[in-house]
Amino acid sequence: MYLLDLVEIPKDDPVAFTFFTGYMAMFAAAVFFFFERSRVDDKWKISLLVSGLITGIAAVHYFYMRDYYAATGENPTALRYIDWTLTVPLMCVEFYLLTKAAGAKLSLLWKLILAAVLMLVAGYIGEAFVPLTEGGEPADGATAHSVTWGVISTIGYVYILYTAWFGEVKKLADKTGDATVIKGINILAWFVLVGWAIYPIGYMCMPGGWLNIALGWESSNVDLFYNIADAVNKIGFGLVVYSVAIGASKK
């Protein structure tokens, strides 16, 4: 029996609402990307398949996160990181697929994936294993723990960001000479810079985080932004790839 059968989602809870709409939006996006594969050239079909997998995996996780939140009212940290650990590396795969025609090598793909995994695993350790007192307050060493793992996580993020804006991905995109691909990579780079920026904010709201200590922000306050950011980033990534694939196929 699903938790949803036991607990009704509060109608006046915006976080619960975004869990539900996030699930429906990403499920609909996955169906769209899978069906649209038939409209693009063969070399772009894998890109749309990956876009469908990203939103499809996210939809499944949001289905369970929606129920978890409705039943407990707590942040589904573990489920969220499982989702991210599967979908964020796939988002990095899109960079490789878009620049493959310009000579992108598998080494680039693996470097992006490893950077994403480092970012997420370190972030999860930083959030899930914060030292707490019996009353749930940050214990001695909580801030040091949060900062240490946050810095390690940031290394992976900065690598992806640099590669998309100035590094190998940017150079390969320019090398294609295809205005559609160049524009697509630029938009995806903006997603990494702006869209992904909400996640460090959520991390710093955890017990022991800077925003939690300085401003009293709690992780529950950020679930709303996490859910919106997830939908915008995952669906947005897919739509950019779709526009590149459609534009290139028409040419």
Tokens (6 digits) for 220:
């529950």
Please give the CATH superfamily to which domain 3-250 belongs. Rhodopsin 7-helix transmembrane proteins (1.20.1070.10)
pLDDT, tens digit (0-9, with 9 covering 90-100), for 57-89: 999 999 999 999 988 888 898 999 999 999 999
Query: pLDDT at residue 2 above 50?
Result: no
CA–CA distance, 4 with 201 (Å, rounded to integer)? 29
Quick one: CA dihedral 116, 121, 127, 131, positive or negative?
negative
pLDDT, tens digit (0-9, with 9 covering 90-100), for 206-247: 766 666 666 665 665 678 878 988 999 999 999 999 999 999
pLDDT attached to residue 212: 61
Q: Is the pTM of this model over 0.85?
A: yes
H helices of the chain, in order, are 14-36, 42-72, 77-99, 106-128, 142-165, 168-176, 179-193, 198-203, 210-215, 223-250
CA–CA distance, 74 with 86 (Å, rounded to integer)? 22
pLDDT, tens digit (0-9, with 9 covering 90-100), for 161-220: 999 999 999 999 999 888 999 999 999 999 999 989 888 777 777 766 666 666 665 665
Residue spans of the domains in the chain: they are 3-250
